[in-house]
Structures are given as C-alpha cells and as structure tokens.
A = this chain, B = another copy of it.
C-alpha cells in the first residue's frame, strides 16, 4: 500500500514539472522576463510565511501554503488566464475542474480528494485561509508592475478602476497590507504608470 502510494505520488511529482513552462503575463521584478507559474507559486509561499502576521484573522499557515503552492497547477491543462482578461473569466471554469481531476487524480485517492478540496476552497475564496492566500496572489503582480514602470497595466491598457477593483481582494485578507497596496496604486497614478 505504501509502495503503491509512493508510485502514484512520484508520477504526480513528475507531471507537475510542467508548471515551470506556463508563462504568466507578468514580468519578474525590474525585468523583461515573464514569470512562470512555478516561480510565482514559490514567491507566494514565501510571501505567506513572511506576511502571515498581518492577516486580520487567525489563519492556518500550512493550509494557506498548500493553497498557494497548488493554486495554479490546473493551468498545466487549462492555461494561464490573465487577471484582466475581458473575454475569459478568471474564476473556476469547467476546464479547470477537469484539469484538477486529471492532475490531482494522479495521487492516491485520499490525497487527490484533499488537493481538489483545498484548490476549490482557494477558488471560492470565502474561508479566512483562502482570503489571505488570494491577497498574496493579488499583491505579487502589483509589486511587480510598480517595479516595471506599469508592467502589464501599460502593456494591456488596464485602467486604474479595473486595477483597484481587482486588487481590493487584498482587503479581505489584511487591512494593513491593503493600506500599503492602496497607497501603491494611488502613487502609480501620480507617477503616470497607471491611467485614471
């Protein structure tokens, strides 16, 4: 049984290597190089550990880490959806659910069920852990875009109000981090790297 589990887990570990090829729209800090999903997930995990003290609610940090580490794995099959995509909705699509079932389904049943549950909890975004995880997911590209003279906001003509509305999800996780983020957005308008 243990060996059976291990073989399934190893095949999952090999499969998820593909996350390193999924390119995001966002660029690395002060850079022209696109970030990939594995790098992004690592960065969110580090941010979670470092910033957990600012969560408004007590959170299970291990749970949040699981969320941010796995949240984009479905994109191996479903592809990355740009946060400001005007056609495709960013939320839990049918295609993503099929991907979750296939990829997490490589794991032993109990673990597969847990991963699908954790991923869905993140997507639904209601639990305190999901709120904090989502605030990390919104904060990283904000920091990247401000370091890149507007980054994807400029590249894809995303206006202030759209950015503000999307980034407001940070507030649900942490008032302190939202205060910082809101200032950053307003400063970006003043600097002319985000259009009002």
The 10 closest A-B pairs by CB, nearest first: A42-B42, A17-B29, A38-B39, A62-B62, A38-B42, A9-B50, A20-B39, A41-B42, A45-B69, A2-B176
A14: nearest chain-B partner, CB-CB: B29
Indicate whether A53 reaches chain B with its CB closer than 8 angstroms.
Answer: yes
* Most chain B C-beta atoms within 10 Å of own C-beta, residue among A36, A46, A69: A46
Say how many copies of this protein the assembly contains: 2
Contacts of A65 in B (CB 8 A): 45, 62, 65
Known: A13-B51, A62-B65. 7 other contacts (CB 8 A): A3-B176, A6-B54, A9-B51, A17-B43, A20-B35, A38-B39, A50-B111
Main secondary structure of the interface of A (DSSP, over half): helix
Indicate whether A156 reaches chain B with its CB closer than 8 angstroms.
Answer: no
Chain B min CB distance to A177 (Å): 7
Given A39-B20, A42-B41, A62-B62, the answer on whether A12 and B50 have CB atoms closer than 8 Å is yes
CB of B61 within 8 A of CB of A46, answer: no
Q: Number of A residues contacting the other chain (C-beta, 8 Å)? A: 43
A50: nearest chain-B partner, CB-CB: B9
Give 1 or 0 for each of A1-40: 1 = CB within 8 Å of chain B CB. 0110110011011101101100000001100000110110
A52 to B49, CA, bound (A): 19
Contacts of A41 in B (CB 8 A): 42
Jot down 27 A-B pairs with beta carbons below 8 A, ordered by A.
A2-B176, A6-B51, A6-B176, A6-B177, A9-B50, A9-B51, A10-B143, A10-B180, A12-B50, A13-B43, A13-B47, A13-B51, A13-B143, A17-B28, A19-B42, A38-B42, A38-B43, A39-B42, A42-B69, A46-B69, A46-B70, A49-B66, A49-B69, A50-B107, A61-B62, A62-B62, A62-B65
